[in-house]
Amino acid sequence: MEVELMTAAIIIAAMWSVLCRINLMKHGTTKPAVFAQHAALAMGLACGLLLPPPYAKLAMSAGVLVFLLAGSKRWRFGAPQGTSKPDPLTPVQLQHAKGGVKD
Protein backbone atom coordinates (compact mmCIF):
# COMPACT_ATOMS: atom_id res chain seq x y z
CA MET A 1 0.00 0.00 0.00
CA GLU A 2 2.81 2.41 0.88
CA VAL A 3 4.58 1.84 -2.45
CA GLU A 4 1.38 2.51 -4.40
CA LEU A 5 0.82 5.76 -2.49
CA MET A 6 4.39 6.91 -3.09
CA THR A 7 4.13 6.01 -6.78
CA ALA A 8 0.88 7.95 -7.11
CA ALA A 9 2.43 10.98 -5.38
CA ILE A 10 5.42 10.92 -7.75
CA ILE A 11 3.19 10.58 -10.83
CA ILE A 12 1.02 13.48 -9.64
CA ALA A 13 4.12 15.61 -9.04
CA ALA A 14 5.39 14.82 -12.54
CA MET A 15 1.98 15.64 -14.06
CA TRP A 16 1.92 18.95 -12.16
CA SER A 17 5.37 19.81 -13.50
CA VAL A 18 4.34 19.06 -17.09
CA LEU A 19 1.09 21.02 -16.71
CA CYS A 20 3.01 24.01 -15.32
CA ARG A 21 5.29 23.89 -18.37
CA ILE A 22 2.28 23.76 -20.71
CA ASN A 23 0.72 26.69 -18.86
CA LEU A 24 3.83 28.82 -19.51
CA MET A 25 3.86 28.07 -23.24
CA LYS A 26 2.48 30.79 -25.48
CA HIS A 27 0.17 30.18 -28.44
CA GLY A 28 1.83 31.44 -31.61
CA THR A 29 5.30 31.50 -29.99
CA THR A 30 5.79 27.93 -28.78
CA LYS A 31 6.04 25.36 -31.57
CA PRO A 32 3.00 23.07 -31.86
CA ALA A 33 5.28 20.02 -31.61
CA VAL A 34 6.38 21.16 -28.14
CA PHE A 35 2.74 21.45 -27.03
CA ALA A 36 2.04 17.99 -28.48
CA GLN A 37 5.02 16.32 -26.86
CA HIS A 38 4.16 17.73 -23.43
CA ALA A 39 0.49 16.80 -23.86
CA ALA A 40 1.50 13.23 -24.75
CA LEU A 41 3.69 13.01 -21.68
CA ALA A 42 0.91 14.37 -19.45
CA MET A 43 -1.61 11.90 -20.92
CA GLY A 44 0.80 9.00 -20.44
CA LEU A 45 1.31 9.99 -16.82
CA ALA A 46 -2.44 10.41 -16.25
CA CYS A 47 -3.11 6.97 -17.71
CA GLY A 48 -0.30 5.61 -15.55
CA LEU A 49 -2.13 6.91 -12.51
CA LEU A 50 -5.52 5.46 -13.48
CA LEU A 51 -4.76 2.12 -15.17
CA PRO A 52 -3.80 -1.19 -13.55
CA PRO A 53 -0.01 -1.67 -13.08
CA PRO A 54 0.97 -3.50 -16.31
CA TYR A 55 -1.00 -1.06 -18.45
CA ALA A 56 0.17 1.89 -16.36
CA LYS A 57 3.79 1.07 -17.18
CA LEU A 58 2.89 0.78 -20.86
CA ALA A 59 1.04 4.12 -20.85
CA MET A 60 3.85 5.98 -19.10
CA SER A 61 6.48 4.40 -21.34
CA ALA A 62 4.48 5.36 -24.42
CA GLY A 63 4.14 8.94 -23.12
CA VAL A 64 7.90 9.22 -22.64
CA LEU A 65 8.54 7.65 -26.06
CA VAL A 66 6.23 10.14 -27.82
CA PHE A 67 7.81 13.00 -25.84
CA LEU A 68 11.29 12.00 -26.99
CA LEU A 69 10.29 11.24 -30.59
CA ALA A 70 8.45 14.57 -30.95
CA GLY A 71 11.57 16.44 -29.85
CA SER A 72 14.06 14.34 -31.81
CA LYS A 73 14.02 16.62 -34.87
CA ARG A 74 15.13 19.60 -32.75
CA TRP A 75 17.92 17.54 -31.15
CA ARG A 76 19.09 15.85 -34.37
CA PHE A 77 22.30 17.86 -34.79
CA GLY A 78 22.89 18.86 -31.18
CA ALA A 79 21.23 20.77 -28.39
CA PRO A 80 18.60 23.27 -29.58
CA GLN A 81 19.16 26.99 -29.17
CA GLY A 82 18.65 28.11 -25.61
CA THR A 83 19.51 24.76 -24.01
CA SER A 84 23.28 25.08 -23.81
CA LYS A 85 25.56 27.34 -21.81
CA PRO A 86 26.75 30.53 -23.47
CA ASP A 87 30.30 30.77 -24.81
CA PRO A 88 32.84 32.22 -22.38
CA LEU A 89 33.33 35.98 -22.56
CA THR A 90 36.51 37.40 -24.05
CA PRO A 91 38.58 39.72 -21.81
CA VAL A 92 37.18 42.76 -23.65
CA GLN A 93 33.59 41.55 -23.24
CA LEU A 94 34.26 40.72 -19.59
CA GLN A 95 35.63 44.19 -18.93
CA HIS A 96 32.55 45.72 -20.56
CA ALA A 97 30.25 43.45 -18.56
CA LYS A 98 31.94 44.53 -15.33
CA GLY A 99 31.40 48.18 -16.18
CA GLY A 100 34.89 48.94 -17.44
CA VAL A 101 35.83 51.86 -19.64
CA LYS A 102 34.43 51.68 -23.18
CA ASP A 103 36.88 51.78 -26.08
Q: What is the DSSP string of 13-32?
A: HHHHHHHHHHHH--TTTS-H
Residue 87 lies in a domain: no
- Cα dihedral 43/13/83/40 (nearest 10): 0
**Residues 4-41 pLDDT 10s:** 899 899 999 999 999 999 999 988 888 888 888 999 99
Residue 39 lies in a domain: yes
Residue 30 lies in a domain: yes
Q: What is the DSSP string of 29-43?
A: TS-HHHHHHHHHHHH
pTM above 0.85, yes or no: no
Q: How far apart are CA 71 and CA 74, in angstroms?
A: 6
Residue 67 lies in a domain: yes
Residue 102 lies in a domain: no
Q: What's the domain range around 48?
A: 2-75
What's the domain count of the chain? 1
**Residues 66-75 pLDDT 10s:** 999 988 888 8
Q: How far apart are CA 93 and CA 41, in angstroms?
A: 41
